[in-house]
Structures are given as structure tokens and as C-alpha cells.
Amino acid sequence: MAFVKVLAGVSGKRAGVGLDRRRTTLWTSVPAPAPGGPGKPPSVPEDGSMWRRDDGRGPDGLVSVLVTLWKNYLNALERWPIVVKCVSGAVLTMLGDVAAQALESRGKGSWDARRTFAFTTTSLLLTTPIYHFVYQFLEARFPAAVGARNLITQVVLDQLIVCPLYFPVFFFSAGVFEGKSLRETREQILRDSWPLCKLSWMVYPFVQAANFRFVPLKLRTVTLSLVDFWFLIVMSITSHAEAEPIPSTN
């Protein structure tokens, strides 16, 4: 009989442990609420803390979901680097132009879908792929991690060659997709490219120095797209500003 009682006691302890483990798996509590009695839900602790579900509906769950999404994004970036970079750049370009148009319209509700299409398509098919291959070349020829000289070389080449060419290419492509005439596109390139290039030189040398030095190669194009989101708002507004009439000399 004594042996049977010992077995019963051990079984009960194991059952209790199993219950606690099962309860811990389903709930995470800080601190654990006191029971409210038979048939009643547990009471809320006096310090206001609540039980958090580990199913994505609480703060911990949201972080877990974001981490999972980020890991999936990195995996996709490894498998399809150009496609993922182009899609990311296009989405950020689209959002940037939509934000720019919202500022331009000042809440009037007007939206030029063709313009957004032109900007987004240019980023998807032209500018983002160009940056992908440019960064691949720069890192292969001048690895930034080797020393300051290579880092400075990357920034100088990017800012003195790529940057001045970027704006004419962008405006020409966007003009084609918007259906502008060659004369309109040419006038826009001559009017806006140089001022925007000078404006970018106030920001992007520092951005690119940090990008080339600290950001992994596979994420540099995406990082630039995030910064371009804000600069695109300025560029988008500028590219569609009404040209000031040239004063007459007569």
C-alpha cells in the first residue's frame, strides 16, 4: 500500500508539472495573476500588467511577427536579389510620389496616377537595377572595409559620376512614361537636373559614406531607396513645379 501511495503521489506531481508546463506554453505572464476562484476568470494584478498571448496579438507577438517578416525578406533577397531590390525601390518610389502629390495638392484630393506610374516604372526598370550593378562593381573594385581610401573612392565615384547622370536619366525615362514631348522632357532636364544634383550633394555624400561602410552589400540599394523616399518627395515636387517665365529683355 505504501508503494502504491508513493506512485500515486509521483503521478500527481507529474500531472501538476504537465499542467504548469502546458499553461506556461499558452500564456506568458508578468507577474502571474491570482486565481479568481472556481468558475471565475483570473483577476488582474494590481500593478496593471496583463497576460500576453504569444500568438501575435500582444507586444511580444508583434515583435516576433516583424522579425519573421524581416528574415523572410532577407531570404528572398538572397534568392532573387535584383527582383527584390527593384520591387522594394518601386514601392518606395510610388509611396514617395503619392506623398509628394498629397503635399502639392494641399488636401484638394487630386492625384495624377500616370505620374506615379511613370516614377514607379522608372525606378523598377531603370534606376534601381543601375544602382544594383554600380554597387556590385564599386565593392568588387574598391572594398570599403579595406580602408578609408577605398571608401572615399566609392563615395567620390558615386557622387561625381553616378549622381550627375542619375537626374537626366530619371527625368527622361519619367517623361517618356508620362507621355511628355521630347521638348518638354529636354526643358525639364535642363531646368531641374543641376539644381537637384547640387541639393543631393548636401546630403548623399554622408549617406553613402555610411551606406558603403556599415551596410552589407545586399542591403545598400534598399537602404538608398529608404533615403530616396524622402528626397523623392522634394524631387517630385520640383519636377512638376511650374516653370517661371523668363523675363523679357525688351
Long-range pairs, 53-56, Cβ under 8 A, ≥24: 53/27, 53/28, 54/26, 54/27, 54/28
pLDDT at 29 over 50: no
Please give the average per-residue pLDDT across 33-56, as a whole number: 47
Euclidean distance between CA atoms 8 and 14, whole angstroms:
10
| pTM for this entry | 0.69
Euclidean distance between CA atoms 232 and 111, whole angstroms:
16
Euclidean distance between CA atoms 104 and 94, whole angstroms:
15
- The whole-number pLDDT of residue 233 equals 78
- Asked whether 163 and 200 are in contact (CB, 8 A), the reply is yes
Phi and psi dihedrals of 134, rounded to 5? -65, -45
Task: For the chain, list the strands marked E by DSSP.
Answer: 27-28, 52-53
Please give the average per-residue pLDDT across 123-149, as a whole number: 95
- Asked whether 171 and 192 are in contact (CB, 8 A), the reply is yes
* Residue owning grid cell 518610389: 93
Instruction: Tell me whether residue 24 is in a domain.
Output: no
Which range of 17-31, 34-48, 51-65, 125-139 scores highest in mean pLDDT? It is 125-139
Q: How crowded is the C-beta side of 92, counted as CA atoms within 13 Å?
A: 21
pLDDT at 153 over 70: yes
pLDDT at 137 over 70: yes
> What cell numbers appear for 84 in the block?
527584390
Instruction: Tell me whether residue 72 is in a domain.
Output: yes
Q: What share of residues in the chain are helix, strand, coil (percent, to 5)?
A: 75, 0, 25
* Residue owning grid cell 548636401: 202
More confident position, 195 or 32: 195
Instruction: Tell me whether residue 53 is in a domain.
Output: no
- The whole-number pLDDT of residue 58 equals 54
- The whole-number pLDDT of residue 239 equals 58
pLDDT at 63 over 70: yes
Instruction: Tell me whether residue 41 is in a domain.
Output: no
Phi and psi dihedrals of 49, rounded to 5? -70, 145
Encode 206-220 in three state secondary structure.
Answer: HHHHHHHHHCCHHHH
Lowest mean pLDDT among 53-67, 170-184, 210-224: 53-67
- Structural domain of 184: 62-239
Instruction: Tell me whether residue 3 is in a domain.
Output: no
Please give the average per-residue pLDDT across 221-249, as a whole number: 68
pLDDT at 105 over 50: yes
Give the pLDDT confidence of 167-211 residue by residue, as tens digits. Answer: 999 999 999 999 999 999 999 999 989 998 998 999 999 999 999
Instruction: Tell me whether residue 80 is in a domain.
Output: yes
Instruction: Tell me whether residue 30 is in a domain.
Output: no
Q: How many domains does the chain divide into?
A: 1
More confident position, 246 or 234: 234
pLDDT at 242 over 80: no
Instruction: Tell me whether residue 43 is in a domain.
Output: no
pLDDT at 248 over 60: no
